[in-house]
Copies of this chain bind each other. A is one copy, B any other.
Amino acid sequence: MKRITAFLASLLLAMGALSAQELTNFSWGQKPVTSPEIQNGSVTFRLKADYATIVKLSCSWMTGQDAAIEMTRGENNVWSVTIPAPEPEIYTYNFIVDGVSVNDPLNVLVQRDGSRYLSMLLVDGERSENYKAANKRGTVSHPWYDSKLLGINRRLTVYTPYGYEANPKAKYPVLYLLHGAGGDEEAWISMGRTAQILDNLIEKGLAEPMIVVMPNGNPDQQAAQTFDLPTTERDRRNQDNRNLYVRSLVEEIVPFIEKNYRAVAKKSHRAIAGLSMGGGHTITASGMYPEKFDYICPLSMGASKSPELDAQLQGIKKAGYKLYWLACGNTDFLFERANTLHDALNENGLEHTYYVSEGGHVWANWRLYLNTFVPLLFK
């Protein structure tokens, strides 16, 4: 009898004798298969696939032809491959079984990137230290707010720092943190490890305790579609709708937060940052509302030269600000665009930091940027 029977399995589950995870790997008298397994600088991936013809490993840390590595069939039809472990960071991967993508069923760590769920690999090291759980952890909440401008009920993700509940009189500054196209209000929490990064930075005394607000930047969506069905038919490709979202962010979400959370309602206590499309929202929001944010951080985004951009940058300069922190990877396909914004900031005489990292338009960079600029806020 190789496999536990369904009835016995249900019984063991119900009695609490086995978790679902244990059950997946359970076979009488066989050593459980594990995947991924990091050992001596290598990482081994394994997948049981009885009837497959070709199984490949697809990794987020490799590109081009290297990104799909053939696996070898072994004993009991467990396919495996061992490769050098990548540098410390968080990565995603999946298997390709006869041409179809499959998550690693033996790995409970999963990240959600837009509509896809991806298996997660965390390689320990200095760079990934703050991506793991801290001892003192803040609360992640999902409140809804009614957007009159967009005509829909919309979902937010809000991080409140450790101690928020226990200190009912304390007030906090707020970082508005915006996702890219293809993401939603869960992107910075799932892919970005925002709760873990903030928890660690605050616990180590490197960052001020702060609230982080992560809205949904797709004006046609009520919420991450895994949770909710109806959406409007407002088209995000229309520039008016995109500005409508930025208006809703500043005129609806900011007041909602300052009414319902213990937030300091002052420019000096508001920061705005965003990646890619959210970097565009950051540039637009800070330009349209120069009196709102003292900390402005567009990530992996830039701008074209235009008289409108110059006018907006002059507005920001006139209103005053504490930090303009622009970041981009040196192989990002938007690097040129970021360079153009950097030049425009210089030409308009705006003091700023231009943080150029290795790499491209990837979450490894956005986690790095968050971990780097959050300690600079509200100081």
A: residues with CB less than 8 A from B are 7, 10-21, 23-24, 47, 49-54, 95, 97-103, 105, 108-110, 113-117, 122, 132-133, 135, 137, 139-144, 153, 155, 162, 165-166, 180-183, 218, 222, 225-230, 236-237, 242, 260, 276-277, 280, 300-301, 333-334, 361
A16 to B7, CA, bound (A): 49
Question: Whole-angstrom distance from the CB of A279 to the nearest CB of chain B?
Answer: 9
Ranked 3 nearest A-B pairs via Cβ: A20-B114, A20-B182, A51-B99
Chain B residues near A122 (CB-CB < 8 A) = 229
Could you list 5 examples of A-B contacts with CB < 8 Å? Answer: A14-B180, A14-B277, A14-B333, A20-B114, A49-B98
Chain B residues near A133 (CB-CB < 8 A) = 222, 227-230
Docked-complex contact A140 and B141, CB < 8 angstroms: yes
A89 to B314, CA, bound (A): 57
What is the predominant secondary structure among interface residues of chain A facing chain B? Answer: loop
Docked-complex contact A116 and B105, CB < 8 angstroms: yes
Chain B residues near A17 (CB-CB < 8 A) = 181, 236-237
**Contact A153 B135, CB 8 Å, known A49-B98, A49-B99, A100-B47:** yes
* Identical subunits present: 2
Chain B residues near A109 (CB-CB < 8 A) = 225-226, 229
Docked-complex contact A182 and B19, CB < 8 angstroms: yes
**Contact A100 B103, CB 8 Å, known A109-B225, A141-B142:** no
Docked-complex contact B51 and A51, CB < 8 angstroms: no
A374 to B111, CA, bound (A): 33
Chain B residues near A165 (CB-CB < 8 A) = 143, 260
